[in-house]
Amino acid sequence: MNDTHSLPRNETGIKTAVSILKQRFGERLQTGEAIREQHAHTTTWIANQPPDAVVFAETTEEVADVVKIAAEHRVPIIAFGTGTSLEGHVNAPAGGISVDVSRMDKVLAVHPEDLDAVVQPGVTRMALNEYLRDTGLFFPIDPGADASLGGMAATRASGTNAVRYGTMKDNVLSLEAVLPSGEILRTGRRAKKSSAGYDLTRLLVGSEGTLGIITELTLKLYGIPEAMSAARCTFSDVASACNAVIMTIQMGVPVARIELLDADCVAAVNGYSGLDLPVAPLLLLEFHGTNAGVAEQAATFGEIAEETGGTGFEWTANAEARTRLWQARHDAYWALRRVRPDATAVATDVCVPISHIAEAVTRASAKAAEMDLYSPILGHVGDGNFHCTLLINADDADERSRCEAFTAWLSELAIELEGTITGEHGIGQGKMTSLTKELPGALDVMRLIKHAVDPLNIMNPGKIFRPDE
Amino acid sequence: MNDTHSLPRNETGIKTAVSILKQRFGERLQTGEAIREQHAHTTTWIANQPPDAVVFAETTEEVADVVKIAAEHRVPIIAFGTGTSLEGHVNAPAGGISVDVSRMDKVLAVHPEDLDAVVQPGVTRMALNEYLRDTGLFFPIDPGADASLGGMAATRASGTNAVRYGTMKDNVLSLEAVLPSGEILRTGRRAKKSSAGYDLTRLLVGSEGTLGIITELTLKLYGIPEAMSAARCTFSDVASACNAVIMTIQMGVPVARIELLDADCVAAVNGYSGLDLPVAPLLLLEFHGTNAGVAEQAATFGEIAEETGGTGFEWTANAEARTRLWQARHDAYWALRRVRPDATAVATDVCVPISHIAEAVTRASAKAAEMDLYSPILGHVGDGNFHCTLLINADDADERSRCEAFTAWLSELAIELEGTITGEHGIGQGKMTSLTKELPGALDVMRLIKHAVDPLNIMNPGKIFRPDE
């Protein structure tokens, strides 16, 4: 994509900084090709642009040291957690140093009374939940991949249960970060709310490593619900399914997850998982609460589904049966991959007001078909957020160019429908051009802030802001 | 207080700007003393520092015009909604122009399917709920006063039901604001979530008019719950009451309000409202949900209350009985005022992790007694947030100085207990010195952002940032 071109490199600075860092970090600085490539973008069609070196930092002070050296020599710094981002966030278009924080993987404190935990940025969401297993608490945000919590904060991640628990913006109480100057910033304290000055926590959440490197997070936790129930229902068309979603949300049913699979997805999982679901739009739901509460929620949804033309409504509070009911969703990604095993998957996401989601999904499907693209749709429809998972032959220049045209068109559709070009994946390199269309005036203010906080532009350059503007 | 001293005035600029604005706005620019004083701080002991003129703006473009003229002549601009802020936010320590947006009071759109509304900044929270009356929807944030929604966003307000519905930070989807340059910024779109660049919405929420003037808000709405129940329970001490709160939150009971009145408050309302509650800490709760759900929630709390030593537990789902049960809370402010009818009320707020709230409240009460101050405590304890309502003779220099010392001490206590100097009132002029203690490094970054966005320092100067630093 044209946003991922290389940027001018500061060869002298990079050489000097790498050599100083080698002295300082020894074997914890790596320059081998494989490790450098692995620390650049690897998850989609965006080109792999490796850093010049990878430093495995183990403490906040070490991150600060790296940043100070990089600042002195004007060398780019790119934070790296698990590399699961989808828009090229970890690429090094101008070269520079990748700061791998995966060894900063300690849970520093859990405060059960306050429902919070203090973690290092390399802790992954699954590792945190494993750590919490005996406490009766959990951290709900689930973007799919077992991403690092630092990376999830940096990209303002969310996922299937954001409809109930919110996104990273709602679940980070405060942050510690190393600023471009090498100074260490603490954005807030452990109180559940605060009106003490500008909300720097929320400024860093979603800043994609362009304002600082997150070195510690204080996160909200939740009690594991007494009960969970799941439900499933088929609809004749996307519009009916979306009507059911809208009514569910409007009635205040505190649904924990509400996912849409389009007919392409259902066909794929039928084949992959040996299911025989009707090949039509499918809603999958999960409810959290008391035993009586989750039964009541499922029953309420059942009534809504009937009213909106749903068929084959099923629900259960049994754990194994829940997993079976949700199998279509759990298997969806791999099922889709198997439809075109050699294809590259390009997962793109947009988010629109829920009243526009039926139109958005329907038009996106029609457009993909018109452009001869295979683009099944999975949606976190309770938030109006959905993904087109394009499966393309990335070596076929024509298909690739149609796919590029489609994703750009999809962003414009989202803007037309009062929505956003990304609900949860972020801008990275992939959506810089679209961002100028979504929020032109706001982008100017973002740039003012970027210049003020990072005047040397060493923090993840070439992301969010088009370098040529 | 020493934070409210006057700042240097740009006499020539002010004179010129006022004269240009008089030409432009005619009778909608006012310079009479009464109206100017009414547009400065009037709610607590902080000195009244009137602006030089008040402009009643009616459109975003008019606000932009005022700001452009002010910028050209380097004259301070202070946004004004209802003037109900508590920390001197609307004062004009360097003089300048008050931009009164109370005539920008239209609800521009309600989208029931998306559960959002678009409003002008002068719409008050009660006016919005009155407008929504027939829709089955409501806007939950309730800071007590019938504040303007623009002002509530600017101070990151919250109130009694933040424990369930969050604060303004959680309920503003996007904003339009006039920047210090006079340009009009739109921070986002109507989608429920977004990862499109820096979160400028959250940056403006809580920026207290120092980065721009909010001219339009897109707000989240909620369906009015099918049922509400209320409960009340007395505890022998604050610690037991707080334990009940902690267990309630930990068990995931989705309590809508959970308020603590200390023994002083209870004594005051007994006298004022003819109640005969035991003079001991009292918890008042409200639950929102289905009929079965609110009954279950109240019953669960009843069990918790019993386990933690509560007495006199009562609950009801009947509307009139709910009002009676909550009368102690509704009447608390006026009841306290009647204890010392001629006193000035100084409402100060801090917020600590919930595990520390019993210690914070107990130590605050003891300290007030030790300093011979009357300081009853009301708390939004589900969030760890509480208010000391000091009733003082503001003409008594000694009592005033003890009160100043107490509020400074209380801020330090909150910081000691991992909390914040303000959960919901903001910094304004009243807490600038304490803010330097809570977040010294963060304050430097806030200042960088302030300078980048408002290089002439015309937007509400002398707030958040100590002018002498």
Q: What is the pLDDT of residues B60-102, one digit of tens each?
A: 999 999 999 999 999 999 999 999 999 999 999 999 999 999 9
ipTM entry: 0.97
Residues B195, A292: C-beta atoms closer than 8 Å: no
Which residue does chain A place closest to B416, by CA atoms? Answer: A189
pLDDT band at B5; cut points 50, 70, 90: confident
> What pLDDT does residue B2 have?
44
Give the residue-averaged pLDDT of B361-368: 97
Query: Phi and psi at residue A342, in whole multiples of 5°?
Result: -95, 0
Which residue does chain B place closest to A170, by CA atoms? Answer: B170
> What pLDDT does residue B468 have?
77
Return d(Cα A151, Cα A79) in angstroms, integer: 8
DSSP conformation letters of B376-441: -EEEEGGGTEEEEEEEE-TT-HHHHHHHHHHHHHHHHHHHHTT-BS-SSS--TTTTHHHHHHH-HH
Residues A191, B423: C-beta atoms closer than 8 Å: yes
pLDDT band at B467; cut points 50, 70, 90: confident
Which residue from B156, B222, B425 is facing A252, i.e. has the nearest CB?
Answer: B222
Q: Which residues of B touch A158 (CB under 8 A)?
A: 193
Burial grade of B372 (CB within 10 A; 0-12, 13-18, 19 or more): exposed
Residues B225, A252: C-beta atoms closer than 8 Å: yes
Distance of CA A417 to the CA centre of its chain: 22
Distance (Å) from the alpha carbon of B31 to chain A's nearest alpha carbon: 31
Which residue does chain A place closest to B159, by CA atoms? Answer: A193
Return d(Cα B172, Cα A131) in angstroms, integer: 34
Residues B439, A112: C-beta atoms closer than 8 Å: no
Return d(Cα A136, Cα A138) in angstroms, integer: 7
How far lies B345's CA from each of B38, B43, B410, in Å? 18, 8, 16
pLDDT band at B1; cut points 50, 70, 90: very low
Give the residue-averaged pLDDT of A19-37: 98
What percentage of chain A carries pLDDT values higher than 70?
99
Angle of CA points A336, A339, A345, to nearest 5°: 55
- Give me chain B's average pLDDT, please: 96
- pLDDT for residue B193 is more than 70: yes
> What pLDDT does residue B4 have?
67
Q: What is the pLDDT of residues B236-261, one digit of tens each?
A: 999 999 999 999 999 999 999 999 99
Residues with Cβ < 8 Å from A290, sequence gap 6 or more? A225, A226, A227, B296
Residues B448, A452: C-beta atoms closer than 8 Å: yes
Which residue does chain B place closest to A444, by CA atoms? Answer: B185
pLDDT band at A5; cut points 50, 70, 90: confident
Reading the block at residue B337, the tokens are 């005022």
Residues B192, A384: C-beta atoms closer than 8 Å: yes
Contact A333, A273 (CB under 8 A): no
Which structural domains are found in chain A, ordered by start? 2-102+448-453 (3.30.43.10), 107-223 (3.30.465.10), 227-332 (3.30.70.2190), 340-438 (3.30.70.2740)
Return d(Cα A295, Cα A317) in angstroms, integer: 8
Q: Which residues of B touch A431 (CB under 8 A)?
A: 196
Q: What is the pLDDT of residues A81-122, one digit of tens each?
A: 999 999 999 999 999 999 999 999 999 999 999 999 999 999
> What pLDDT does residue B121 have?
98
Distance (Å) from the alpha carbon of A186 to chain B's nearest alpha carbon: 6
Return d(Cα B272, Cα A47) in angstroms, integer: 72
> What pLDDT does residue B181 have?
97
> What pLDDT does residue A360 have?
97
How far lies B107's CA from each of A307, A405, B60, B127, B216, in Å? 32, 38, 14, 9, 10
Q: Which residues of B touch A195 (CB under 8 A)?
A: 155-157, 206, 420, 422-427
> What pLDDT does residue A74 have?
98
Residues B351, A250: C-beta atoms closer than 8 Å: no
Contact A241, A309 (CB under 8 A): no
Query: Phi and psi at residue B179, in whole multiples of 5°?
Result: -80, 165
Q: Percentage helix, strand, coil, to 5, in chain B?
A: 40, 20, 40
Q: What is the pLDDT of residues A195-211, one digit of tens each?
A: 999 999 999 999 999 99
Which residue does chain B place closest to A195, by CA atoms? Answer: B426
Contact A262, A192 (CB under 8 A): no
Question: Dihedral of the CA atoms A41, A42, A45, A49 (nearest 10)?
Answer: 40
Q: Which residues of B touch A435 (CB under 8 A)?
A: 196-197
Residues B113, A188: C-beta atoms closer than 8 Å: no
Residues with Cβ < 8 Å from A396, sequence gap 6 or more? none
Return d(Cα A377, Cα A374) in angstroms, integer: 10
Q: What is the pLDDT of residues B141-181, one digit of tens each?
A: 999 999 999 999 999 999 999 999 999 999 999 999 999 99
Return d(Cα B109, Cα B218) in angstroms, integer: 9
Residues B439, A187: C-beta atoms closer than 8 Å: yes
Residues B252, A226: C-beta atoms closer than 8 Å: yes
Distance (Å) from the alpha carbon of A97 to chain B's nearest alpha carbon: 23
Neighbours of B342 (CB within 10 A): 9
Report pTM.
0.97
Which residue from B169, B187, B420 is facing A196, i.e. has the nearest CB?
Answer: B420
Which residue does chain A place closest to B163, by CA atoms? Answer: A192
- Give me chain A's average pLDDT, please: 96
Reading the block at residue B62, the tokens are 């008019």
Return d(Cα B439, Cα B418) in angstroms, integer: 12
Distance (Å) from the alpha carbon of A244 to chain B's nearest alpha carbon: 11
Give the residue-averaged pLDDT of A240-260: 95
Total length of chain A: 469
Which residue from A223, A292, A425 is facing B296, i.e. has the nearest CB?
Answer: A292
Residues A223, B252: C-beta atoms closer than 8 Å: yes
Residues B453, A451: C-beta atoms closer than 8 Å: no
Residues with Cβ < 8 Å from A289, sequence gap 6 or more? A225, A226, A227, A254, A297, B252
Residues B191, A418: C-beta atoms closer than 8 Å: yes
Distance (Å) from the alpha carbon of B33 to chain A's nearest alpha carbon: 31
A–B interface: beta-carbon pairs under 8 A: 277
Q: What is the pLDDT of residues A353-410, one digit of tens each?
A: 999 999 999 999 999 999 999 999 999 999 999 999 999 998 999 999 999 999 999 9
> What pLDDT does residue B3 have?
56
Distance (Å) from the alpha carbon of B432 to chain A's nearest alpha carbon: 9
Nearest alpha-carbon partner for A453 in B453, B90, B155, B166: B453
Give the residue-averaged pLDDT of B381-395: 95
Residues with Cβ < 8 Å from B217, sequence gap 6 or more? B118, B119, B120, B121, B149, B150, B153, B172, B174, B175, B176
Which residue from A169, A195, A252 is facing B156, i.e. has the nearest CB?
Answer: A195
Give the residue-averaged pLDDT of B339-363: 95
DSSP conformation letters of A216-253: EEEEE-EEPPSEEEEEEEE-SSHHHHHHHHHHHHHTT-
Residues A223, B251: C-beta atoms closer than 8 Å: yes
Distance (Å) from the alpha carbon of A31 to chain B's nearest alpha carbon: 31
DSSP conformation letters of A444-459: HHHHHHHHHH-TT--B
Residues B354, A113: C-beta atoms closer than 8 Å: yes
Q: Which residues of B touch A199 (CB under 8 A)?
A: 156, 169, 202-203, 205-206
Q: Which residues of B touch A185 (CB under 8 A)?
A: 441-442, 445
- pLDDT for residue B39 is more than 70: yes
Which residue from A223, A225, A419 is facing B189, i.e. has the nearest CB?
Answer: A419
Q: What is the DSSP letter of B48?
A: P
Q: What is the pLDDT of residues A29-77, one digit of tens each?
A: 999 999 999 999 999 989 999 999 999 999 999 999 999 999 999 999 9
- pLDDT for residue A441 is more than 80: yes
Residues B223, A250: C-beta atoms closer than 8 Å: yes
Q: Which residues of A touch B452 (CB under 8 A)?
A: 448-449, 451-452
Return d(Cα B307, Cα A446) in angstroms, integer: 52
